Chain A
Amino acid sequence: MSSKAGDASHSSQLHDLPTDPPAAYPHYVTRDDENAVPIFDWRDVTQRNAANDKMRKGVPVVLRNTKIAVPSTSPGTPGIHISRDGLCQKWGDSGDDPDDDSKDRFQNFANSSFRDARKWRVLLSSTSPNKRNRFLPIVPGNNAYGGHYRVRQPETAVTRFSTTEFAKCAREWQNRGCYLEDEVASIAIVAGETDTVPRDIPGKETTRQPRQPKHGVRPVSGGDGLGKEVVDGLNWEVRVFRLSQIRTHRGGPITGD
């Protein structure tokens, strides 16, 4: 079975470009990029099964064409299909080449900022030339004064930026790097929080509330911009999520592909 899984994957397809920065690790680690993560086409049933088999065995895989972050149509209300923009389309600068430096970086990404009530965690690298692009945030709780492993001056600073600020820094900073990394959404763990559509009572006028998503994933507090874009921009009904136990959280079974 495992041999079949191996056969179904694509061969090494790294697609390194001449403009790519050099690898930041010794070449023997990947045997000059010969050791590649297997790639599977999610549309192909054979490859999909092979990928599932690999994942069950705890082997990393790359899945292509999963339609997770592409435009999709979801049944928001029975009978009415709402077209949604996928996250790739929302943030992808309308198909602009992200390698083109002349384009405004993170333009669409930053547009979500005006709805955000909170700022997001951003790592700021050292200004030292050989550490300019490296991000090594520390765990502050372990860095007590006088501690056995005290790091007196962590090379990576941590702060909070709005997405607009982050985009501006990413565009303008030359001597220092910044990297946005934060939790934007989580599963709704409060019982009964999902599927709370009020039923119409005959003879009584009620206001129909928007249906809560079946997947139960919601943006974090204050993250109505970035968080909501991520939740809305991912297609939670693709088959790949059937592997998860989202449904144990009152989400109901996920059907369809």
Chain B
Amino acid sequence: MTDFNHQQTAHCESGAVAALLRHNGLDLSEPMIFGLSSALTYAYIPLVKVGGMPLLAYRMPPGRIIRGLSKRLSIRFHFERFRCPEDGTIALDKYLEKGFPVGLQASIYWLPYFPESMRFHFNAHNLVAYGKDAEDYLISDPTFEQPVRADVASLQQARFAKGVLAPKGLIYYPETITQTPDLTAAIPGAIRSTVNMMLRTPLPFIGVRGIRHVARHIEKLSPANEHYNKLLIGHMVRMQEEIGTGGAGFRFLFASFLQESAHLLSHEGLAQAADQFTDAGDEWRRFALYAAKMLKGRSALDYGKLATQLRKVADMEQQGYRQLLELKLR
């Protein structure tokens, strides 16, 4: 059986990539992987519905971390998808027989080791399979403290769930890593890409403008639709906190990346920017707290107060991205 060093992370995709790279001799922290792939964002897309709610994202779409990182560090990843579930299972078994851990995409709903209340139809969960013991796969799921197990039938169902972001049995792994990548050269470009996304995307519902757009939207909610409004606010908080974000919609993860970069580049300005995003993250958490209190009925439902809090966050983030721009990293 393959020895696999399981480590829990906050987010599944950055965690699965970190685990696979570590297994192949390249040890990068989760925040470093998240930051280098420029995965941070803010997007509110009312046209796309998730479970009847508008799509709200605090990070780039699934798959971006792997592709973003592979672009920045020139590490090639091998991807395989399957039309027929049986083929996918045979291919997976082959890799595992050779003692070769691989990353998988799967639907959370069909993974048997997830607690009942966490199981929703989300198709883009990432995990690493590293072995097979009789009828069970040995799995290193980055969002769990310990390695877990899944039976053959359940894993196949989870890997071939249909719908939005259907995994189609995706198997991935990094190709041989020949040299240690130069992080100091990759960091400035990655930061610039995030800043551009957040400040300069010419769409009103993405980036800092997106946060203000949602603030306006919340302010204008009609008190007559209280049930839907409450669901929408709850949905915002869930997307921000619950889905493996490391806290505050990935803002703490990003701040941690900036701090690590400040050490690597010996750049005091980056450390200050990290503090700015920590503060912004704290305000995101405060937004979640206000919202939860209102939903529980412990304080009056006040759309204006939530909007004001969102604008505060938008201002703080804007200042943070401007700070990063002014550093003129190269």
- To the question of whether A and B form a pair in one complex, the answer is no
